[in-house]
Amino acid sequence: MPVKKLKIVVTRKLPTPVELRMMELFDTRLNHDDHAFTHEELVEAVQTADVLVPTVTDRIDSKVLARAGEQLRLIAQFGAGVDNIDVQSAVQRGITVTNTPGVLTDDTADFAMALILAVPRRLHEGSRVMDQGLFDGWTPTWMMGRRLAGKRLGIIGMGRIGQAVARRAKAFGLQIHYHNRKPVSPRTEELLDATYWDSLDQMLARMDIVSINCPHTPATFHLMNARRIDLMKPESYIINTARGEVIDEAALARALKSGKIAGAGLDVFEREPAVNAELIGLPNVLLLPHMGSATIEGRTEMGEKVIINIKTFADGHRPPDRVIPAIL
């Protein structure tokens, strides 16, 4: 008698090789038109699936989980962050949650470094000038930006991605500073020539560029609020490739408009896909549509991790990327 395949519901379109492999291994329902699932569709999915494969765009909260069928035993997130999932409620209901950590470290760090290069050198402003046909020729004092070498980079969140950003930034001659819940190992600090700041406020007041690389948690919501943004130097820049909720966007917009800080590069937003209207059109901010992890290689590897987690779980073993809630 053939073994019954697990019923999998995938909430967004994934790379074709990943979808084909899922179709081979499981009874898979795909999202061919890549629309964002409504609340009702998420409820229907958890009521029928053995395994749900959501992404960061899906809010799997306690209300959704309360209506899950008894057959749902695994939520295999396609993504490293799980702030869209009520992990504690899931685990209390006997549902395992997994994610895909480590895969996108280099891709996201490359993107953060690209913004660190682009914003102080005003690449986006120069591109707009060319697109609008306004380039009248070179002059000595036009479109001047800031040199990177010798500047201080303050990294908020010194995990995998933060350290990868530090390695890249050091190669460009930036001085590495960081704030984290606790210092990294002395060996890592030595390799990165990095200086730890226990006080985020004190670090912000002395940095030329601030890169946000921490996750979104209740403790980091609006970590960069109006008071902290006001601590930054007028010639400083802020880069965010982590989570939009970490910055108070209204306060940031005011600071950019008033010249309190020099510029910003943002790839994530507080209420995606909506972008704060006060940020749109500002000449000193580069806005990008959550592209930091968007490489073919990275997204395919994410899918492979999802499949490994599902296969391991189906075989009766503990998935390698199981997420443990902070408080049970």
What residues are annotated to the active site?
243, 272, 290
Distance CA 221, CA 216 (A): 6
Q: Could you give the 3-state DSSP secondary structure of residue 10?
A: strand
Please check whether residue 122 is in contact with residue 98, taking contact to mean a CB–CB distance below 8 angstroms. no
Distance CA 56, CA 81 (A): 7
Helix (H) or strand (E) holding 237: strand 237-240
Tokens of 293: 């992890």
Please check whether residue 319 is in contact with residue 307, taking contact to mean a CB–CB distance below 8 angstroms. no
Distance CA 148, CA 95 (A): 48
Nearest to 101 by CA among 75, 83, 78, 74: 78
Q: Could you give the 3-state DSSP secondary structure of residue 130?
A: helix
Q: What is the DSSP letter of 253?
A: H
Q: Could you give the 3-state DSSP secondary structure of residue 226?
A: helix
Cβ-based neighbour number of residue 66 at 10 Å = 12
Please check whether residue 222 is in contact with residue 252, taking contact to mean a CB–CB distance below 8 angstroms. no
How far lies 17's CA from each of 49, 147, 217, in Å? 22, 43, 33
Beta strands in 131-208 (DSSP E): 152-156, 175-179, 194-196
Distance CA 312, CA 328 (A): 24
